[in-house]
A and B are shown apart, each in its own frame.
Chain A
């Protein structure tokens, strides 16, 4: 909805085709570089999927340049990532072991792929007992290339560039709820979300503190074992007793409630905004990230369109009055795109607000899209290759 209204107000072409192509060229070359290894490997499925993903990512970036809109095109990538990741992941699991559940034998053999969501839970035991409370392996193995060292390396390197924008350019889970939020025609429960937004956005912090402390106390990854909604669409501990059956029930209930139903009703990313402890943890990196969204108070008319459009309730009336977003802003660009007065702008910390917002946007987008192509793009390519492999004429 946000993008539609902004399309009506902006000139149809923010930039000419030639300049847009020129600005897209670095991303096109980067995409080719990132997927070069796929073309060197055997297998037509891989080649087709790599080519499709290169075209997909480059086209979306071109459209960002051409229209001046960020959120609308980023969302297409992000929803594709959110829906295709579980598809590829589940297909790989079923092909390998015939089930989505993790038997205890795989946990003790260190074959569980590491998920970045567990990162906050493992920090205290790692720091004080040098122990990783996760059933993976520290170094990559033939049966588990997604080892703890590799995945933490990926996460930390990308976080240096993206900060909290990880949640809108890299997280392969957030796109699922963003997709369900996009399906909804109208926004329900809006008054409730606005009224209790200040409380709701504190919940992820409370869960973060709870999960980190309890994980350190009982030496278990509490979020993974009990609270992760995305276990329902990836892998989960095999149901072998009452406790694991309850865990499975919680995963499914949280997934249906926070990732499907509430996003559809509210048009918000409710799991990300009101639950995810990793998102809260990631917010801390916004402090060291140079890019942000600011509000030009001279242009702002306090219409609150930006507040309504924000998918994670990262804006309040007070923050808009102060010309800033809240700490949990994930730089998706929804508020900038929806603003009719061009008061919401991309900003580089240390520079004057609203002086060269497009330059700040470009500097941010080049880094963010390059990493989205590298990380999300490779996940998309893997899933697309799986789909191509299923095609009946093959």
Chain B
């Protein structure tokens, strides 16, 4: 009797597995994708740059200043703050902006770069630190996650390293 019940359960399970297989492309992939999408997850700040702290409007373009990203205990990155210039196609050929990163009303860094006419051409930029919290960069491209000046689509992403201080993440 037990063998028979087990056998019936097994074939029912096998039938359900087949049903699941049929449902995979039509229902399940979308269902599981939605579950992941709504799980409240976010991409690590090392890649995404973190969250936007404030937006500075300029003539024809805007600058997004992100919150500083501090490494976790064993994370192998320097602390940095991300600045995004967008849209890139509205930027002048030469950009040189003094930017207030911490919101105290005084500029903290001067970011300068020449915008290549070809969007695929490598970009290089300079960052001059105007106080001791930040580290200056010269002729910076996309060499590291904490120090960069790169073009991604219609944005220019600049990451300025911070001198190590108390955690602000």
Contacts and interface: CB of A to CB of B under 8 A. Distances in A.
A347 B17 CA distance: 14
Contact of B152 (A105, A130, A360): A105
B36 A34 contact: no
Nearest to B75: A219
Contacts of A105: 142, 148, 150-152, 157
A15 to B, nearest CB: 20
Contact of B7 (A125, A158, A291, A352): A352
Contacts of A110: 43, 47-48
A28 interface: no
Given A105-B157, A350-B10, A161 B17 contact: yes
Interface of B: 3, 6-7, 9-11, 13-15, 17-18, 20-22, 24-25, 28-37, 39-44, 46-49, 72-76, 142-145, 148, 150-153, 155, 157
Given A103-B150, A105-B142, A153-B31, 17 more contacts: A109-B155, A126-B39, A126-B41, A130-B39, A130-B42, A131-B42, A132-B44, A138-B36, A138-B42, A153-B35, A157-B29, A158-B24, A161-B21, A240-B143, A290-B13, A352-B3, A367-B17
B37 A363 contact: no
Given A103-B142, A110-B43, A153 B33 contact: yes
Given A349-B10, A352-B3, A366 B24 contact: no
A158 B24 CA distance: 7
Nearest to B36: A149
Interface string A85-108: 000000000000000000111111
Contacts of B155: 109
A220 interface: yes
The SS class assigned to the B binding surface is helix
Interface of A: 34, 103-111, 125-126, 130-139, 143, 148-150, 152-154, 156-158, 160-161, 217-220, 240-241, 290-291, 348-352, 360, 363, 366-367, 370-371, 374
A104 B150 contact: yes
18 contacts: A106-B152, A107-B47, A108-B150, A108-B157, A131-B43, A131-B44, A149-B33, A149-B34, A154-B29, A157-B29, A218-B76, A219-B74, A349-B10, A350-B9, A351-B7, A352-B3, A363-B14, A367-B20
